[in-house]
Every structure is written in structure tokens, then in C-alpha cells.
Amino acid sequence: MRGVPTILHLDMDAFYASAEQAAKPSLRGKPVVVGGIGPRGVVATASYEARVFGVRSAMATAQARRLCPNAAYLTPRFGLYQHISQIVMELLRELSPLVEPLSLDEAFVDLEAGGVEPTPAAVRAVGEKLRRDIARATGLTGSVGLAGSKMLAKIASEEAKPDGLLLIAPGTELGILGPMSVRAIPGVGPATAETLRRAGITTVAETAEAGEDELVRLLGRAHGGGLYALATGHDDRPVVADRDAKSVSVEDTFAEDLTDRTRVELELARLADRCVRRLRGAGRSGRTVVIKVRSYDFSTLTRSETLRGPTDDPAVIREAAARLLEGVDTTAGVRLLGVGVSGLADYTQEDLFAQAASAPDETPEASADEEGESAGAQEPADPAPPRRWLPGLDVRHAEYGPGWVQGSGLGRVTVRFETPWSAPGRVRTLAVDDPALEPAEPLPLVRDTDGPDPADHGGPADHGGPGGQNGPEGAPGSGGSPESAGVGACGAGSSRP
């Protein structure tokens, strides 16, 4: 642990929900919940107004609705969040070359590597300026922790929430840590905490007093020894820039349990293809294929197979996933499926045996496209699928301008027409097939007064939309979320209960 508080931890406050409140003036100061809106959805983020009612991240959306029925329940807009994250991370990189992002809204920064004077006054000034810069560039707030180690900096930012800064001065670390719950220590989850509780250990101070030998006896050599070091304030983990991803995975939760084996196999193949697209998008390949199957009763199993070399071949990964599924009984019903690839590499070692085995059954993509074009010339094209108006997503109307969907159902869609820099807007109900209503890109949260009006030209592209693929079960990307289950049905914009 350093003798000066030159490790900074930034954590944006209720990030997704705060971004939605900043984008939607009618929701400011009101409870907002972002996540999966379907019956099996999961909360990704809740605003502080919603947390008052007990709503928390990773909670089932159905439970959140019972606790806070008048909140606005919105579909995530990952394109907007990624755009904001890029702005924030660039501000962090101006402070130091050593920036370790943990997620879109959280990162460590080594201020010493950035040449900041190693004094409490200097690092505090940097932290305060960072908070001002983030607010000016994004319109959002973030909390900053400053300490001599990563663990303490993260604890400090948590204690500073919301919209604050806490510096843990050298020599005060153990006094601050001691009264805290043992859960404050990284790596201590519910199971470890319960093991310690049964031994009469509930706080960080009690953990340190128990001694390393006792912790090793309770938890094993690696976990016990590491826990003792952290409980006594010893954390020498460096800030590591550009942390490498260890795996790429996708998963879907289904609105209804899948009992048909053919449907399960088709969904698994679709997920394998989606996983490969993400793998290739990252310029990677991998040698271990993993499937995840969650049954109707929430029991979850994983199966893995390691190939002879790294691959990004969709046929190879599909076949490996199918082989893994062969030994899994799905007759009782499948709630969730997932496919992942680990053992990542920057190159591909061709699996000639697997490719040769699959080649006779493969149809070249070009031939498939040509066949489709030929068929299209002889038969009328299928009608376009009906547009889905999911709560929270951006729209634009030819007459009323930009707005966002509050809810839809029974052939109608309710839209509130407002922008991030306007007063709360008017609500209008339109036909779902209104030709003047179109999906739109998110508007920036901070208006550029020197440039063109973004309400006329759109904002950052929402590439994530309702189909984000990497959230928790039932979060964006989960199937079967009814449009009517969102804001319009829950009284968004109403007063807090």
C-alpha cells in the first residue's frame, strides 16, 4: 500500500438511470428503473429515488414493480451509455496513462503515473476538477475515492456516493476499515461472509483480529491468506491499463420455458453464431467452448469442451455447443441458454478435422444470398415485421419532433415529446403504425451551443438498443418483453408514491 493517496477510483452515480433522467426532463427527481421489462426481467440500475423503496440492481423486475409500482421502467439504451463512457474514460486518460476500466461507469486511475504531485492536497484538487469536468461534459455526476490502494479507493468512492469525494489519508486506513462489514472486502461474497459469521467474525476489525492462521483454517490457504492481507490494509495490486478480456459470451432468457428439444438446439446454434460475431468483432479467437443451461427451477449447469486450437469458425463452435448439449436433459424446460468462448487468442489455428467434417453440410453464404435474391425476384417480399415501441427508446415524429416511448399496446403507442434541454414535454398517443413516427438516435445530454441543433440531426448512435447481449438474466437481450409492460403501464412521470 502506498504512503500517499494517489490511486483514484471513479464510480458514476446510478449510471444508466441517471443518464435516463438527464435525457428525459419529466423523469428528473422521480424513481427510474432500467433493465429487462418483461416478466423475467432483471434490474440493471435503479435511481436513488427508486432505491428508497428497496429497489436494487440484479433484483427481479417483477419484485421491483411490487416495491415501487409508480417508477418509470425503461429499456436500456447501450449506445448512449457507451458514448458517455467514452467521454468519461478520455477525461481519465488525460490524468494518467494508467487507467483500468472495470465497466462502462467505473475505473481506477494511477495518478502517480500521470505526474500528479504525491500530496493529499494535490490529488484532492485533481479529483474535484475531474468531477467538475465530467459534469460539464456529460451532465452527470460521479463519485471519487482517493487512497493508497485499490481496495481503499473503491471503498472511499462508495462512501462518497452520491456526487461526492472522499480521500482516505495515510495512517487512517485501519480506523476506517475496522467497523465496516466484512462484505466491504473485495472477494467476500455471501458464502464467505456466512462462513465467517458462524465463526463470530462480522467486521473487518474482527477479521484482522482472527489472525491469518484462523482464516486459512476457515477458508483455505489462498482465500484465507488473501483476506487477512486485505483486512489488515495490505493491498499492493497495481492499476493495470487495458485489461484483457478472458472470455466472450452471450445468453438469453426466454419468456416461456423451452421444452421442445429442436427449439432448444436452434436457439443454442443462434447463440453460438452471435457469440462468434462478438468474438470476431473483438479480433479474437478461442479454444474452449462453454454452454450454460438454466432449468425451469433455476438450477444451472455449465459444460465445456476444449478444442485443439483457437478458432473463430462458427461451424466449429456450433458443433462443439451441440455436442455439449447432447448430455443435458432439457425435457423439464429451459429458462436460459448461453454460449461462451474462453482461452482467447489473437490468432486462429485452423481446426482442419472439424472443418472437413462439417464441410459437406455447409452452404456457402454467397450461394445462400444469391438463392434468396432469386426467390425474391419471383415472389413478393414478406411484409415488414411490425415495429416494436419499447419503453424508453428514442423516436421522432414528423410534426412533433423528438421524444421517447412511454409505453404501447392495443395498437397504440404513448410518446412524450421532449429533449434533454427542454422543459418536461407533452404526452401524445399515436397509432403504432403512424407513418410519421420513426425510431431515432439518442440526443446528447449536453447541448453544444456553438454547433447545429442536435434535435434536428440526432445524437450518438444507439447500437445497443433493446438487444444488448451481455446483461444479467432477463436484462436487455432477454426474450419476450411485452411493450405494454413498461413506462406507459406504470405511470411514468407520476409523483413518487
Spot the catalytic one: 20, 100, 106, 418. Answer: 106
| Cβ(442)–Cβ(84) below 8 Å | no
Q: What are phi and psi of 249, to 5 degrees?
A: -150, 160
Q: Which residues of 304-322 are buried (b: 16+ CB within 10 A; e: fewer)?
A: eeebebbbbbbbbbbbbbe
Beta strands in 219-299 (DSSP E): 247-258, 285-295
CA-to-CA dists, residue 297 to 66, 257, 333, 335, angstroms: 22, 10, 9, 8
Active site annotation includes 106: yes
Q: What 8-state DSSP symbol labels residue 39?
A: T
The residue written with cell numbers 458514476 in the block is 12
For the record, the C-alpha cell of 275 comes out as 457469440
Residue 128 CA to residue 133 CA, distance in Å, equals 9
Residue 354 CA to residue 424 CA, distance in Å, equals 59
| Cβ(315)–Cβ(358) below 8 Å | yes
For the record, the C-alpha cell of 98 comes out as 494508467
CA-to-CA dists, residue 124 to 8, 143, 426, angstroms: 10, 12, 43
Which residues contact residue 363 at a Cβ distance below 8 angstroms, ignoring those fewer than 6 apart? none
Read out DSSP for 154-219?
Answer: HHHHHHH-SS-EEE--TT-HHHHHTTSBGGGSTT--HHHHHHHHHTT--BHHHHHHH-HHHHHHHH
Which residues contact residue 374 at a Cβ distance below 8 angstroms, ignoring those fewer than 6 apart? none
Q: What are phi and psi of 101, to 5 degrees?
A: -70, 135
Residues belonging to the active site: 106
